[in-house]
Amino acid sequence: MKIEDFFEISHEPIYNFLKTYPYPFEALGRPLKEFIQKEIDSVPKDQRLLGNISPLAYVTGDVVVEAGAVLEAFCYVEGPTYIAKGATVRHGAYIRGNTYVSSEAIVGHTTEVKGSVFLPGAKASHFAYVGDSILGAKCNLGAGTKLANLRFDKKNISFIYENKKYSTSLNKCGSILGDHVQTACNMVLNPGTAIIKGKWIYG
């Protein structure tokens, strides 16, 4: 279950962070939060909100919105969150913190996100829930896709990958979706779902 099975690694800071971990899920939780805070702290406070931010958007806490990013009206963005150039957070989106939105990614209308990474061009454009997950480059979630992140019994989550079980120390962990993965509309993925790059998940 290597990073390279899911993502084409580039030299962007988010990739440099991810490739320091043997397994992608190890980057979630506290490590992701600390990485995002470090990236935010590297930006002077008067340079953190340079994007096209609607006066009707609500931004609170430590948040960076790079020049060229867009926050539409009535979205809610809570820090620590980093939104890179060219990304869009659409009307009614709800970002609950610990989230990294890479260039050209989309957090769509009424989409809720927490503790997650959108790699470049990843899209959750309509009515999605993305909890404690990683979306690969140009991954696309069909409308209404939910990435569940909590077991009913609240136990720690495990991944099954190529007939091998990988246990995490996390009781909240969603999905690892590789580059160019696509889901059909109204899909629900169980906690601990791993899909390598290029796969399509039909309804």
CATH number (domain holding residue 54): 2.160.10.10
| This prediction's pTM | 0.96
Q: What is the pLDDT of residues 123-156, one digit of tens each?
A: 999 999 999 999 999 999 999 999 999 999 999 9
The structure tokens listed for 116 are 């997650």
- Give pLDDT, residue 10: 87
Q: What is the pLDDT of residues 49-100, one digit of tens each?
A: 999 999 999 999 999 999 999 999 999 999 999 999 999 999 999 999 999 9
Q: For the chain, what is the domain count?
A: 1
Residue 34's SS3 state is: helix
Q: What is the pLDDT of residues 87-129, one digit of tens each?
A: 999 999 999 999 999 999 999 999 999 999 999 999 999 999 9
E strand or H helix at 35, and its extent? helix 30-41
Torsion angle (degrees, nearest 10) of CA 116, 32, 62, 126: -10
> How far is it, in rounded angstroms, from Cα 3 to Cα 23?
6
- Give pLDDT, residue 141: 98
Catalytic status, residue 126: yes
Domain extent at residue 185: 3-201
Q: Which of 11, 91, 126, 180 is catalytic?
A: 126
